[in-house]
Amino acid sequence: MTDKTRSYYKTLLQIDQNLDRLVREIDVLNYLNPLNIEQEKKRFFGSKFSEDPVFKYRKLKFDPYTLQRQLFSQRLEDIPDEDIYKLYHDAVYEYSGLVQCVATVGKEKKFFYNSLRVFGTPTEKDVKNAKFILHFHKEEDAEEMVPRYNADQAQAYFQAFGERYPFKFRIRQSNSITGAAMALNSGELVVKKNRKFSDNDLKVLSNHEIFVNMLTTFNGLDQTLRIFSHGFANNHPTQAGLGIFSEYMSDSLSLKRVKELAYRVLAADSLIKGYSFSDTFDLLYSQYKLDRETSWLISLRAHRGGGFTKDYQYLPGLKKVYDYYASEKDMGLLLTGKVALEDAELIEKLQQKELAKKNTHFPHSFQENRNTNDKLKFLLSNLK
């Protein structure tokens, strides 16, 4: 960035630094993942799926009211560009919504309504797409789908996989996460401690969590504007879609995995209908004949905090990214940080104005389409 550009955008850079300092503590998933998952799982199964789990959560490390006030005290009107002003305006409102989410984790309806404001709810089209996917016959489980590795072996695999890139990230194990692994914005990969991993799991998680989630974290940190690191407004569908698309391009995405995304849509839709945890579990376990472990996990992801709708975004996000790629648009723009597909043109504009730069890192999975599953290609091409 030249001195002239830095001088012209002095106010913008100051606001960006202020927001960087303010929003570091807003890691929704860190507060949202229950501390007593295994205990409540055992109790729920012991009750024959009738007693809803009662989850415990981490205590807040910041004052939500003070943080909200500081977010809205930023002089956004002084930003000398209408498009960039809107980018920061929308981001501040989303950060505020995330603060409200974190502040109400575990408070049932209060959290649920805050979650709705930030992440929305499945549309009728999303539900129809999910049900369309579920009409496809399940593929037979291959040898690579058989769980055989413990968390220590998975951690070693992820460590070796990450050495393909110069960025360094930490890995730790925990039972207080809902997925098999989770990349945090702090540059840390958390691995489920008491889980077994298959060969396919290791490929899926590496291509999703490291090749996309971790990579966009470090690309965002390399940008001049910290908003690339903390996230544009509505970046979640794009980021989720990129992760699954990386699985597709690396030939590690399976029909079973895509069906899981479809079930997540239906679980999020059940929240809108007022389903309890046990109701959602019964929908998946009794009506759709999922095994009890998968039914528990999808229900947990949907009901944690009091009702978390974000999980439905993986499927529509995948469709958006797939169509974007099919139209031969610049995938690099979507990997500059925690950005939204809808802001691709704005990112180009920021690059032209020396306020953003090209990616430092690009995922190997996006360099060549290695998918060999014609059924998946047909399915993704025909989602609405």
pLDDT in tens, 106-130: 999 999 999 999 999 999 999 999 9
Closest C-alpha to 120, from 327, 309, 374:
309
Closest C-alpha to 357, from 228, 166, 242, 215:
228
- Spatial separation of the C-alpha atoms in residues 167 and 163, rounded to whole Å: 8
- Spatial separation of the C-alpha atoms in residues 42 and 338, rounded to whole Å: 36
> Residue 138 above 80 pLDDT?
no
**Sheet containing 181-184: which strands, arranged edge to edge?**
170-174, 188-192, 181-184
Q: Report in angstroms the alpha-carbon separations of 346 from 219, 246, 338, 349, 359.
A: 17, 24, 14, 5, 15
User: Would you list the domain boundaries of the chain?
Assistant: 3-382
Weakest mean pLDDT among 20-29, 240-249, 363-372: 20-29
| Digit-coded pLDDT (tens) for 19-46 | 999 998 788 888 999 999 999 999 999 9
CB atoms within 10 A of CB 69: 10
The arithmetic mean of pLDDT across residues 250-262, rounded, is 96
| pLDDT, position 140 | 63
> Residue 102 above 70 pLDDT?
yes
Burial 292-323 (b: 16+ CB within 10 A, else e): eebbbbbbbbbbbbbbbbbbbbbbbbbbbbbe
Band of pLDDT at residue 94, cut at 50, 70 and 90: very high
The model carries a pTM of 0.94
